[in-house]
A and B are shown apart, each in its own frame.
Chain A
Amino acid sequence: MKRWLPLLLYLALAVDGLVGTATGFVELQRAVTRSRDLYRLDTVGSQIESDLEFQTQESRRAFLYALGVTDPNQQLPFVDAAREADREVRDTIGRFRALQAPADIDRSIEDFEMSWQKYGQARDAVIAGILIGDARHALALDQREGNQAFAAALQDLAALKHALQAHARTQSAQVDRTLQICIAGLALFVLATSGIVLALLRVNRARAAALRRLAATNHSLERAQEMDRRRVAILEMVGTHAPLADTLRAIAELPSQCHAGAGASIWSAAGDKILYQASSGLPEHVTNVLRSQAFERIDGSLSLSDDARKEIAGLAYRASLADVILPLRNVAGDAIGLLLIFAPQGVEVNSQCVAAQMTQLATLAIENTMLYERLAFQAQHDVLTGLPNRLLFHDRVQQAILRAQRNRRKVAVLWFDLDRFKQINDTLGHRIGDELLSECAQRLKGSLRESDTAARIGGDEFVVLVGDLEAADDARIIASKISKNLRMAMSVSGHELKVTASAGVSIYPEHGSDPASLMRCADLAMYQAKRLGRDTFQVFDKELGESLGRRLEIETELKKAIDNGELSVKYQPLMGRRNELDGFEALLRWNNRKLGSVSPAEFIPIAEESGLILSIGEWVTRTVCETGAAWLRAGLDVPRLAINASGVQFADPQFANKTYAILTETGFPPSKLELEVTETALVGNLEPALQQIARLRESGVTFAIDDFGTGYSSLNRLRTLPVDSVKVDRSFIKDLERMTGDSTTLVRGIIGLAHNLRLTVVGEGVETERQLEILRSLGCDTIQGFYLHRPLSEDAAESLMRQHIHGEPVPAAAAEAPLVEPSLA
């Protein structure tokens, strides 16, 4: 509301001024008009009136002169003068009319004109009498009419004069009033105009003041914007991990934005030192002195010694600067740096926000750099031992290879794996295990040159890079030395421990020209050392490398096998005692475009090691169940379908759930599904595997022990395992024909034992009639083998089932060509 009041006042003043101006102008115009009229009537009219009176009297006088002369020729000049005076009178009357006087004056003029005409008529008659010589008559006429008419004319003339005077008085009064009004209007106009001018001056002053304030605000705003822009730029430098010195130099430039001559120097804490980082805005000699300084930290704090403080103060004093020392602390309150602000004497830099901003930004920059360096260290180092991790080790190996290429030297990669470390972990606990690893790391580092690198790349796996070797045998010496140092007893938390390590050695350029190859070769050599009895080291050899290459190729291609549709399932019939169709064993086949047909005996172990067996096993289960369900929907009497299950699958806690889900989805009855598992597959992870077997058996799935007799063959375990059948390993079947008796006895024993445990017995790998006869004679329940049937395709298996339904004789051997050696899968 207050804001509108001045505006309303100014508006009222403006309207008032305009009204006053208009009124004054109108009244002034009226006054001028009336003055002009008054002048015309008063001045001009008075002059005309005087002329009129003079001419009137002149006319009368001339006429009277004419009366006194008898000779017409002498009378005529007087008559002419009278006539001339008469014309003048009439002209004067015309001038009066031209004045456009008011009505009352016009009437007076008309009255005078009429009376003058009457006088004129009388005079003409008298003149005629004079001129014709009748003077007596003329004189009588003049006395009778002329004098009277002239007197009347004079009377009307007097009335005209009176009217003029009255009009002049009236007009004069009106002009006086008009002038008064005009003066009042002008005064009002001047007053209003003055008010407007004053208001405008006031507004102008206010506007000028506002402009000055705006300019000051703009200046402050520009300075704030510049500070903000610099702050954003500094934050970007912090965010992009620009060099700390550059970032701190940008921060040190901030004081100069606020105060000319102000500068700053920023220091960061490193260990027990406070180190110079950057400065800006300071005289060069001051910067040089500061750059050469390194203050000692007192008790890890940022407190400067008295000498250091005196030195800084003296430096500032000599440069006519005032110094402010501000500590930089992180969120936890830890001292991470110092901020020294120098400003000209009398400038309170510390009271400005710039000091707070600088403190925040410098703290953020130093803290961010420290965090970044810590993260970078952690990204490349093992947290437990502080050794480089695999990433950094790869990089170091790469660098070493490049150096070796230039210097024609050799590089060795040594892969150490602590023997039986798992037992230490399991028996003494992870804490002892970790301490042991740290001690081993220290011994590794202690065994190496400064230029060599030891890294931890796994639980108990260490790798060592030894560069600049002249001969490969040097690596053997170093490996032997490290093994010896590790073998020495070590005391860990009161425990006297002795560890050994198996090591593998690979050499550049003999075993590879890149870090991955060298590490792969060293790893493989280490496994070789493990196989050779541990606590030794092996140098990689070529044969081992070829095996590794084949293995890696299989693993690479196997990853794409499912998506490429390279896997297939064959069904090998299981025949009963009366040659009836007792079931099918699903056998996995893999035909790769590059590798050709790969034996399950080769790719299944690789799939198990790489974990691919989980997805492959799930694919086999789903394929078999879908096929079985389709056969059932086709009205076939589908026997049990057996699938080999890997120990890795049983280690999957979700194996039972996944299998049951597949059965549910495909609609294949669980009772027709049999899972074959080897003893060794169960041994390592027995309890969880038994739980999963129990869950699946509850749903109707049956289990068989595959390759029985080649593993632990624990009779006790056979008694407790929740299985339904036992498959006698093909090695026993093969020996049946040799008539040695031992195999027959063993097979008879297995069959008898299984039957006593109410387990059915399957003889697999039957390839001859003799083998069949022996097994039948020994009471084997089910026969599987080439002699009866090779693995069949899905269609062939379906045809076999149809023949079996119609009671047709089952051929002793299917016509299908042998594909691969029947195997585990």
Chain B
Amino acid sequence: MQTPSQFRKLALAGFFAAARLAAGQGFSVVAHPSNPVSNLSVSALRAMFSGTVTHWPNHSKIVLAQRSAGSPANRFLMDRFLNISWQDYKRSLEGLEFMGQEPAIIRVLNSDTAACKFVFNVPSAVALIESSSAGAADCRELRVLKIDGLSPGQGGYRLR
């Protein structure tokens, strides 16, 4: 049973998430500025975050910088993009490893800013963050990848 304070937090979170969705901010995929990839298809992005694709075209290992569970970016990734729960997601990754595939490197970061710092310090990393955080100081130096040729905010952009 949730306490009234927890309830209020959830309510506020839901309110803000709903407000952001209503505002159409969506989510952005950021990578190290030295990364040669600037555009990804939705399927390629889904393959990367589902662990089926583990290397960049330059053969460097993909490091997935994921937001902690409950964050808007994590919920969007799990609930709407991969359509899987966080537990199931972790289990599927372990299943892949057991199947003999090279496991995907996932680092969970507790804020969009930390995710941006991580991506900045690890050149092969990629993170899904809220588009509103892309303008933060730690994120401005990263490259925002186009999805299916569309930048965040453009019409038809899929990650929102």
- Neighbouring A residues of B105 by C-beta, 8 Å: 132-133
What's the dominant secondary structure at chain B's contact region? Answer: mixed
Q: Report B115 CB to chain A, min CB distance, Å.
A: 10
Question: Does B110 contact A83, Cβ atoms closer than 8 Å?
Answer: no
Whether A128 is near chain B, meaning CB under 8 Å from some CB there, is yes
- Neighbouring A residues of B124 by C-beta, 8 Å: 128, 132
Whether A72 is near chain B, meaning CB under 8 Å from some CB there, is yes
What are 13 sample pairs from A and B whose C-beta atoms fall under 8 A apart? A72-B107, A79-B121, A83-B121, A124-B121, A124-B123, A127-B121, A128-B121, A131-B107, A131-B122, A132-B63, A132-B125, A133-B105, A133-B107
Q: Report B61 CB to chain A, min CB distance, Å.
A: 7
Whether A698 is near chain B, meaning CB under 8 Å from some CB there, is no
Whether B117 is near chain A, meaning CB under 8 Å from some CB there, is yes
- Neighbouring B residues of A756 by C-beta, 8 Å: none
Question: Does B122 contact A127, Cβ atoms closer than 8 Å?
Answer: yes
Question: Does A76 contact B118, Cβ atoms closer than 8 Å?
Answer: yes
A-B residue pairs, 5 tightest by C-beta: A131-B122, A128-B122, A72-B107, A132-B63, A132-B105
A residues 69-84 near B (Cβ < 8 Å) are 72-73, 76, 79-80, 83
Question: Does B110 contact A132, Cβ atoms closer than 8 Å?
Answer: no
Since A72-B109, A131-B107, A133-B107 are in contact, a sample of 17 more A-B pairs with Cβ atoms closer than 8 Å, ordered by chain A residue number, is A72-B107, A72-B118, A73-B109, A73-B110, A73-B114, A76-B118, A79-B117, A79-B121, A83-B121, A128-B121, A131-B63, A131-B121, A131-B122, A132-B61, A132-B107, A132-B125, A133-B105
Question: In the docked arrangement, what's the CA distance between A73 and B111, Å?
Answer: 9
Q: Report A74 CB to chain B, min CB distance, Å.
A: 10
- Neighbouring B residues of A128 by C-beta, 8 Å: 121-124
Question: Does B123 contact A76, Cβ atoms closer than 8 Å?
Answer: no
Q: Give the nearest-CB partner of A129 in chain B.
A: B122
- Neighbouring B residues of A79 by C-beta, 8 Å: 117, 121
Proximity bits, A109-134, B CB within 8 Å = 1, else 0: 00000000000000010011001110
Q: Give the nearest-CB partner of B61 in chain A.
A: A132
Which of A76, A132, A133 touches B117 (beta carbons < 8 Å)?
A76
Q: Report A324 CB to chain B, min CB distance, Å.
A: 120
Inter-chain residue pair count (beta carbon < 8 A): 38
Q: Report A494 CB to chain B, min CB distance, Å.
A: 168
- Neighbouring B residues of A83 by C-beta, 8 Å: 121
Most chain A C-beta atoms within 10 Å of own C-beta, residue among B109, B117, B125: B117
Q: Report B71 CB to chain A, min CB distance, Å.
A: 13
Proximity bits, B22-65, A CB within 8 Å = 1, else 0: 00000000000000000000000000000000000000010100
Question: In the docked arrangement, what's the CA distance between A72 and B68, Å?
Answer: 12
Chain B interface extent, by class: 10 to 19
Proximity bits, A744-774, B CB within 8 Å = 1, else 0: 0000000000000000000000000000000
Question: Does B110 contact A76, Cβ atoms closer than 8 Å?
Answer: no
A residues 58-76 near B (Cβ < 8 Å) are 72-73, 76
Question: Does A132 contact B122, Cβ atoms closer than 8 Å?
Answer: yes
Q: Report B99 CB to chain A, min CB distance, Å.
A: 21
A residues near B (Cβ < 8 Å) are: 72-73, 76, 79-80, 83, 124, 127-128, 131-133
- Neighbouring B residues of A131 by C-beta, 8 Å: 63, 107, 118, 121-122, 125
- Neighbouring A residues of B114 by C-beta, 8 Å: 72-73, 76
Question: In the docked arrangement, what's the CA distance between A76 and B105, Å?
Answer: 17
- Neighbouring A residues of B61 by C-beta, 8 Å: 132
- Neighbouring A residues of B121 by C-beta, 8 Å: 76, 79, 83, 124, 127-128, 131
- Neighbouring A residues of B63 by C-beta, 8 Å: 131-132
Question: In the docked arrangement, what's the CA distance between A416 and B107, Å?
Answer: 180
Question: In the docked arrangement, what's the CA distance between A73 and B61, Å?
Answer: 20
Question: In the docked arrangement, what's the CA distance between A487 and B17, Å?
Answer: 187
Question: In the docked arrangement, what's the CA distance between A124 and B61, Å?
Answer: 15
Question: In the docked arrangement, what's the CA distance between A128 and B117, Å?
Answer: 12
- Neighbouring B residues of A132 by C-beta, 8 Å: 61, 63, 105, 107, 122, 124-125
Question: In the docked arrangement, what's the CA distance between A73 and B125, Å?
Answer: 14
Question: Does B122 contact A80, Cβ atoms closer than 8 Å?
Answer: no
Most chain A C-beta atoms within 10 Å of own C-beta, residue among B61, B114, B117, B121: B121
Q: Report B89 CB to chain A, min CB distance, Å.
A: 18
B residues 115-159 near A (Cβ < 8 Å) are 117-118, 121-125
Question: In the docked arrangement, what's the CA distance between A127 and B63, Å?
Answer: 13
Question: In the docked arrangement, what's the CA distance between A133 and B109, Å?
Answer: 13
Q: Report B75 CB to chain A, min CB distance, Å.
A: 19
Question: In the docked arrangement, what's the CA distance between A72 and B120, Å?
Answer: 13
Q: Give the nearest-CB partner of B68 in chain A.
A: A73
Q: Report B106 CB to chain A, min CB distance, Å.
A: 9
Question: In the docked arrangement, what's the CA distance between A72 and B113, Å?
Answer: 13
Question: In the docked arrangement, what's the CA distance between A131 and B122, Å?
Answer: 7
- Neighbouring B residues of A76 by C-beta, 8 Å: 114, 117-118, 121
Q: Report A131 CB to chain B, min CB distance, Å.
A: 5
Question: In the docked arrangement, what's the CA distance between A128 and B123, Å?
Answer: 7
Q: Report B4 CB to chain A, min CB distance, Å.
A: 29
- Neighbouring B residues of A72 by C-beta, 8 Å: 107, 109, 114, 118
Question: In the docked arrangement, what's the CA distance between A72 and B63, Å?
Answer: 12
- Neighbouring B residues of A80 by C-beta, 8 Å: 117
Q: Report A137 CB to chain B, min CB distance, Å.
A: 11
Q: Give the nearest-CB partner of B111 in chain A.
A: A73
Q: Report A133 CB to chain B, min CB distance, Å.
A: 7
- Neighbouring A residues of B125 by C-beta, 8 Å: 131-132
- Neighbouring A residues of B110 by C-beta, 8 Å: 73
Question: In the docked arrangement, what's the CA distance between A127 and B32, Å?
Answer: 14
- Neighbouring A residues of B117 by C-beta, 8 Å: 76, 79-80
- Neighbouring B residues of A73 by C-beta, 8 Å: 109-110, 114
Question: In the docked arrangement, what's the CA distance between A195 and B139, Å?
Answer: 76
Q: Report A733 CB to chain B, min CB distance, Å.
A: 180
- Neighbouring A residues of B123 by C-beta, 8 Å: 124, 128
Question: In the docked arrangement, what's the CA distance between A132 and B121, Å?
Answer: 10
Q: Give the nearest-CB partner of B60 in chain A.
A: A128
B residues 72-122 near A (Cβ < 8 Å) are 105, 107, 109-110, 114, 117-118, 121-122
Most chain B C-beta atoms within 10 Å of own C-beta, residue among A73, A80, A83: A73
Question: In the docked arrangement, what's the CA distance between A133 and B63, Å?
Answer: 10
Q: Report B43 CB to chain A, min CB distance, Å.
A: 25
Question: In the docked arrangement, what's the CA distance between A124 and B120, Å?
Answer: 10
Question: In the docked arrangement, what's the CA distance between A131 and B125, Å?
Answer: 10
Q: Report A99 CB to chain B, min CB distance, Å.
A: 29
Question: In the docked arrangement, what's the CA distance between A161 and B98, Å?
Answer: 56
- Neighbouring B residues of A127 by C-beta, 8 Å: 121-122
Q: Give the nearest-CB partner of A77 in chain B.
A: B117
Question: In the docked arrangement, what's the CA distance between A83 and B138, Å?
Answer: 12
